[in-house]
Structure 1
Amino acid sequence: MDNLEKWKLKVVAALKRLNKVAFSQRYLLYTNLGISIGLAMVGDQMEQGYECWSGHIDKWDRTRTIRMGISGFTVGIVCHYWYQYLDQFYPKRTLRAVVHKILLDQFICSPFYITVFFITMGVLEDKTWEEMKEEIREKAIILYTAEWTVWPAAQFVNFFLIPPRYRVVYDNIISLGYDVYMSNVKYRKTPNSSDTTTASK
């Protein structure tokens, strides 16, 4: 066995150990939060990159990306415990159980998730409660409508095929494109905004 083969075996063994520890019951919450924060920030950077390229903004706003990362922390907590709750009450992978999970996810968790996102961002932006409610009224329905085009099919795969410890990881991988869209909707200027420039695509 040459050195390259030995190196490959060492890398595979190290990745297996990392996977075993990171997705263990002891560290799963921290792993899920880290992934949620990281991909929320990546999604915002991708959106800002497009906005810079298209001329809607002049340069990358670091504070905006950090705020999106913090929102990834709060909604990551929601997802982590929500999936555990669903798996506790619907442990089987039957079609009936999966459909129940999807419906509960869309009608309960999705609105809550979107509300937590806007409240988190509103607190970070030092908005009043009235300003937060206005933004939720204007933008939450846009995100919720978009969720119906993506998540029922994605969650069917998640609940039917993905092992429970990987549910939030799968969610975040699928959600990367949605995170880009969330950033776009969140920072899209509305007609009521004093700033007339738009961040919409």
Structure 2
Amino acid sequence: MTALPILYSFRRCPYAMRARMAVVVSGVHVELREVILRAKPPEMLAASPKGTVPVLLLPDGRVLEESLDIMRWALAQSDPMGWLTHDDQNLILATDGPFKIALDHYKYPHRYDLTDGTVHRDAALAHLGDLNDRLATAPYLSGARPAFTDIALFPFVRQFAATDAEWFAALPLPALQSWLTALVGSDLFVQIMTRYPAWKAGDPPVHFP
């Protein structure tokens, strides 16, 4: 039997979420190894010393350590939904960069010696407003159906919204809120949020999806 690629993941990590979503849509099968971040398995650290998830270890020995690279690798094998036709790298960089920095300061202010994260929350709103404007004419950033850009951004917008769900729900961002609701409620998201026990050496492989 041909060895499967090994995907180290953590269920709640937004980077791992988007990688798992692309893997599922591609139809590529991997061996999933769920990680507890406070007790990272030495096998993962040997493959990727930086110690963050997701990590994809390919049968030929190559290691992909970035979620976007894992997404693009999976979809390069098979892209039945045409996700790669809408890969807005500038928008993704803006989300992974300035928006994510603001999100972290908003969600975890005490990590940064802040009394609260309000200033950073409000700074992130400009990006959300831009997304809302882009979504005003179509349900997804890619048009009628979600594609690469939607999935790359969505876990971080979800994380922002969940930090203060009542406040977020009251924002005048109806198109963005509808987009988020649709993705959170999708069968794809439900599938990739299945709970798996933490992996340890010697466990039988978990085939995913």
- The answer to whether the superposition gives a TM-score over 0.5 is no
Q: Which is strand-richer, 1 or 2?
A: 2
Q: Which is helix-richer, 1 or 2?
A: 1
